Chain A
Amino acid sequence: MPQTLKKTTQRLRQFEKVCEILDRYQHDPMKLIPILQAVQDEYRYLPEEVLAYIATSLGLSPARVYGVATFYAHFALEPKGKYIIRLCDGTACHVKKSIPVLDALRERLGLSEEKPTTPDMLFTVETVSCLGACGLAPVMVINDEVHGQMTPEKAVAYIDEIIACEEKK
């Protein structure tokens, strides 16, 4: 019983933040995208029950909100790892061999296109179509830090460094 109670209070607290965000945007259905962006900033992803809650409070159908959440590349319906590694596969990065870097990263972490996040929730590896740092191709971004002129070796070294650092903690 106490376990359930704990969960319920957790839930309530969860929706408190959502309510705050909804208030900030005056419950305006036109502001759905900024609302979802703010919610994702808060939770790092869009939990399903939160999507349903947003739909109801904006007077939209859950399908409409779900449709928007799945349409845009920035919204994630699954939780992501602590370190989000985004490898640029824009044209410039592609011709400068970004794919071998991606392969090396995935191999090091045991990930694939279908399985982007490690089971320990430490890393998510994804590709983006262009980060606009083409002069430094190929480019890799760890959370918000941009690293240019990547090679498979350099990329794996960064991962090893993070893992070593995490293990120390």
Chain B
Amino acid sequence: MSTAALNLKKITEEYACDAERLKRRVIICAGTGCVSNGALKVFDAFAAEMAAAGLNFIPELKPESGSGTYVSKSGCQGFCQMGPLVTIEPEGILYTKVKPRDVPEIVKTTLVEGGIVDRLLYQDLVDGRHCHGTQDIPFYTRQARTVLKSCGIINPEDIREYIAGGGYEAAMRAYKEMTPQSVCEEIMHSGLRGRGGGGFPAGRKWDITRKEPGPKKYVICNGDEGDPGAFMDRSVMEGNPHSVLEGIMIAARAIGADEAYVYVRAEYPLAVQRVRKAVQDAQSLGILGENIFGTGHSLTCHVMEGAGAFVCGEETALIASMEGKRGMPLPKPPFPAQSGFCGKPTVINNVETLASIPIIMQMGAAAFRKLGTEASPGTKTFALTGHVANTGLIEVPFGTTLREIVNNIGGGVTDDNGNLTGGGFKAVQIGGPSGGCLTEENLDLPLDFDSLKSVGAMVGSGGLVVMNKETCMVKIARFFMQFTQNESCGKCVLCREGTKQMLSLLDDIIEGRGTEETLDLLDRVARAVQKGSLCGLGKTAPNPILSTMRQFRAEYEAHVYQKRCPAGQCKALLTPEIIAEKCKGCTACARKCPVGAITGAVKEPHKIDPDKCIKCGVCKETCKFNAVTGV
């Protein structure tokens, strides 16, 4: 029996004892989204109002805190659209869009009198009923929050709370009761596949690294979440950093590593800070460091900030970056498992993958397999954004359909002003710049690694951007191409030059210079870049083009042959027209037109001279009668 084992249990008991004395707990979401909406000011308002009401305000739970209301900050609760979010326990009330001026009422009505402030509750979009909390809000009830379960509830800066919830027990078991081989087997049995994009079985990766000879091995946690439109790793690092650390410890045990690195994207300052604090706290309790759990094994963990390069999400590029070089990928093999950081065997796992590890160890591989589908077990977090009523971070089992995600969890498709539209759905872009688009006909496809691949998309890191009918798919393809062209590291000629050529071909189409050859050439360049690039960035860079060209061929053709943008987004292809029946002849547009292209007598329908028109759109903005179309 080691002293460390006693410690975990003791910490749990002490924490439970402190928590028992609490009357209530107020959890304020302090994820990046809510903070930018003023969550910290709400926190301060609670401090002031509770003092005024004579209530004991406890900002940090300690043995000497005594009885009162513990007001804690949590990581992202996922429902970013409705932030700042305030949860009140034990009642489980969730208040949305809380402003500092609402706090006096919450303190009086809920904390003092035990009632509910109805106007701050979430109102269901369909039937308008007030939802009490996460237990009856469709956004939450239809999810299966597993990795994100504690995110948004626990205080991410309090290691005691993580331990009290059973944290680090799995790591202790891995070190004390299991062999590296049995840890690898457990993860292999669970069928866990890497959440970073590739979907490679995590257990197998570990096992290969475990079998490599040599005393020095590394574990790297890849937190360089570069996909635009994805923020699940950020949320996990901010909301539950200890779960990532525990995953790292178990990985280190499985492969026999004594040094680990967490590589965090520099755009995520809060995540960097939280992970750093988690490492320090774990070290000071003796969970990390020398002689872990009295087993004689040691593990040091370093945190490194990225410097802003998307390609560093690729494992060999990430290693190059950690070695102080330009982040350029290397040919594989050798795989990092054979020769990685400093030439030593290295396991690189994504944040979400590592955060799933303690959960698997706790629930057991067999129970984990029951979630999700046969070939893709478990749950997946998605960042649901774009033209959808409820944006935020969600977690669903693999095999959930897109319809469920968009219509039920997301609450339906919205127009540009955020209002619900009945039939506005056009497509969902999944997997970021490496992924593809899913359309109406894919709405009932159960999402998993393989089904998405079969329709030319991929899970990627899990960005789900919903697009309405006002979105031009050629422009979306161009947007992603611009991104990959910027981020191409320049090593492979096909990726470096090809992305540039694809971008200018797309510009030709958008600006009305496209010909029959353009589409054909675009297709050929895209396929060449796919074949001739070394790393995932180049290999998948043409995906957004190929996928939109396949699914929205008619839209491309309209741009090329009819010089028309069906969504009305490509300025160069617009021909504004005045609908005679709607025009009242108020002359407002003619007066605003900068080139004098609009003519017509007062109180008579006006006309636009297409030769003079520069398609600036000012006439449409000016017209009060919606008589101008096509801009």
Q: Contact residues of A with B, CB < 8 Å?
A: 29-34, 36-37, 64, 67-68, 71-75, 89-92, 94-97, 128-137, 139, 144-148
**Chain A residues, Cβ within 8 Å of B391:** 92, 134-135, 137
Contact A135 B392 (CB under 8 A): yes
Select B231's contact among A89, A96, A129, A134, beta carbons within 8 Å. A134
* Docked CA distance A34–B483 (Å): 25
Q: Which residues of A contact B169 (CB under 8 A)?
A: none
8 more A-B residue pairs beyond the given contacts A91-B385, A135-B80, with a C-beta to C-beta distance below 8 A: A32-B324, A75-B307, A92-B465, A95-B387, A95-B471, A129-B487, A130-B229, A132-B230
Residues of A within 8 A of B486 (CB): 129
Residues in chain A near residue B323, CB distance under 8 A: 30
CA distance A91 to B391 in the complex (A): 13
Known: A91-B228, A94-B479, A137-B385. A132 touches B32 (CB 8 A): yes
Chain A: which residue is nearest B79 at the CB level?
A135
Q: Measured between C-beta atoms, what is the minimum distance from A39 to chain B in Å?
A: 12
Closest 7 CB pairs of A and B: A135-B80, A90-B228, A73-B308, A32-B324, A146-B36, A132-B231, A92-B385
A residues in contact with B498, CB < 8 Å: none
Q: A36-B307, A92-B229 in contact; A135/B385 too (CB < 8 A)? A: yes
Looking at A34, A71, A97, the one whose CB has the most chain B CB atoms below 10 A away is A71
Q: How far is the CA of A96 from the CA of B486 in the complex (A)?
A: 21
Give the residue of A30, A34, A89, A147 whose beta carbon is less than 8 angstroms from that of B36. A147
Which parts of B51-105 form the interface with A (CB within 8 Å)? 80-81, 83
Provide the B440-471 mask, 1 if CB < 8 A to any CB of A, else 0: 00000000000000000000000101010001
Inter-chain contact B35/A146, CB cutoff 8 Å: yes
B33 proximal to A (CB < 8 A): yes
Q: A36 to B325: give the CA distance in the assembly, Å.
A: 12
Given contacts A33-B324, A37-B307, A72-B327, contact A136 B36 (CB under 8 A): yes
B37 at the interface (CB under 8 A from A): yes
Are B230 and A130 closer than 8 Å at their CB atoms?
yes
In the complex, which residues of chain A have a beta carbon less than 8 angstroms from the beta carbon of B479? Answer: 91, 94
Complex CA gap A47/B231 in Å reads: 33
Closest CB in chain A relative to B533 CB, distance in Å: 18
Q: Which residues of B contact A36 (CB under 8 A)?
A: 307
Closest CB of chain A to B344's CB: distance in Å?
13
Q: Which residues from chain B contact A136 at a C-beta distance below 8 Å?
A: 33, 36-37, 80-81
Interface residue B304 (Cβ < 8 Å from any Cβ of A): yes
Return chain B residues, CB-CB under 8 Å to A135.
33, 80-81, 83, 385, 391-393
CB distance from A165 to the nearest CB of B (A): 19
Beta-carbon contact of B467 and A133 below 8 Å: no
Known: A91-B386, A137-B385, A137-B391. A73 touches B32 (CB 8 A): no
Per the 8 Å Cβ criterion, residues 463-521 of B in contact with A are: 463, 465, 467, 471, 476, 479-480, 483, 486-487, 489
Question: CA of A92 to CA of B483 in the docked complex: distance in angstroms?
Answer: 13
In the complex, the number of residue pairs spanning A and B with C-beta atoms less than 8 Å apart equals 136
| The residue from B32, B37, B476 contacting A95, defined by CB atoms under 8 A apart | B476
User: Which residue of chain A lies nearest to B305 when distances are taken between CB atoms in the complex?
Assistant: A37
Q: How far is the CB of B232 from chain A (nearest CB, A)?
A: 9
Q: Which one, B126-134, B262-270, B606-614, is touching chain A? A: B262-270
What is the bound-complex CA distance between A146 and B268, given in angstroms? 12
CA distance A130 to B393 in the complex (A): 15
Does residue B352 face the partner (Cβ distance < 8 Å to A)? no
> Is B248 among interface residues, defined by CB-CB distance under 8 A?
no
Residues in B whose Cβ lies below 8 Å from that of A131: 32, 267
B interface, CB within 8 angstroms of A: 32-33, 35-37, 80-81, 83, 225-231, 234, 266-269, 304-310, 321-327, 342, 383, 385-387, 391-393, 416, 429, 432, 463, 465, 467, 471, 476, 479-480, 483, 486-487, 489
Chain B residue contacts of A64, Cβ below 8 A:
325
Q: Beyond A36-B307, A71-B309, A129-B310, is A139–B36 a contact (Cβ under 8 Å)?
A: yes
Chain A residues lying within 8 Å of B310, measured Cβ to Cβ, are 129
B387 and A73 contact, CB distance less than 8 A: no
Contact B228 A129 (CB under 8 A): yes
A145, B41: Cα distance in complex, Å: 13
CB-based nearest A residue for B429: A91
The reply to whether B307 and A130 form a contact with Cβ atoms under 8 Å apart is: no
- Least Cβ distance of B544 to chain A in Å? 10
Shortest distance between the CB of B434 and any CB in chain A (Å):
12
**A148 and chain B: residue at smallest CB distance:** B36
Q: Tell me whether B307 and A132 are in contact (CB under 8 A).
A: no
Known A-B contacts A133-B32, A146-B35; A96 and B386 likewise in contact (beta carbons under 8 Å): yes
Contact of B321 with A33 in the complex, beta carbons under 8 Å: yes
Cβ contact within 8 Å between B385 and A71: no
**In the complex, A67 Cα to B326 Cα: how many Å?**
7
- Give A100 Cβ to nearest chain B Cβ, in Å: 11
Q: Report the minimum CB–CB distance from B346 to chain A (whole Å).
A: 14
In the assembled complex, which residues on chain A have CB atoms less than 8 Å from the CB atom of B463?
Answer: 91-92, 134
Also in contact, A72 and B304, with CB within 8 A (given A90-B228, A135-B80, A137-B385): no
What are 28 contact pairs spanning A and B, CB under 8 A? A33-B304, A33-B321, A68-B326, A71-B309, A71-B327, A72-B309, A73-B307, A73-B308, A89-B228, A91-B228, A91-B385, A91-B429, A91-B463, A91-B479, A129-B226, A129-B228, A130-B226, A132-B225, A133-B32, A133-B80, A134-B231, A134-B391, A135-B80, A136-B37, A136-B80, A136-B81, A146-B36, A148-B33
Within the assembled complex, what's the spacing in Å between the Cα atoms of A31 and B307?
12
Residues of B close to A130: CB separation below 8 A: 226-231, 267
What's the minimum C-beta distance from A63 to chain B, rounded to whole angstroms? 11
- Distance between A72 CB and nearest chain B CB, rounded to angstroms: 4
* A146 / chain B contacts, CB cutoff of 8 Å: 32, 35-36
Residues of A within 8 A of B83 (CB): 135
Cβ–Cβ contact B227 & A33, under 8 A: no
Q: Smallest distance from the beta carbon of B209 to chain A beta carbons, Å?
A: 21
Contact A144 B307 (CB under 8 A): no
Q: Are B228 and A31 closer than 8 Å at their CB atoms?
A: no
Write the chain B residue with the least CB distance to A140: B36
Nearest A residue to B386 by beta-carbon distance? Answer: A95
Report chain B residues within 8 Å CB of A71: 309, 326-327, 489
Given that A92-B385, A92-B386, A130-B227 are contacting pairs, would A33 and B467 also be in contact in the complex, using a CB cutoff of 8 Å? Answer: no
**Known contacts A91-B385, A133-B231; is A33 also within 8 Å of B307 by CB?**
yes
In the bound complex, how far is the Cα of B310 from the Cα of A96, in angstroms? 22
CA distance A42 to B383 in the complex (A): 35
Q: Which residue of A lies closest to B234 (CB)?
A: A132
From residue B62, how far is it (CB to closest CB) to chain A in Å? 30
**B266–A74 CB distance below 8 A:** yes
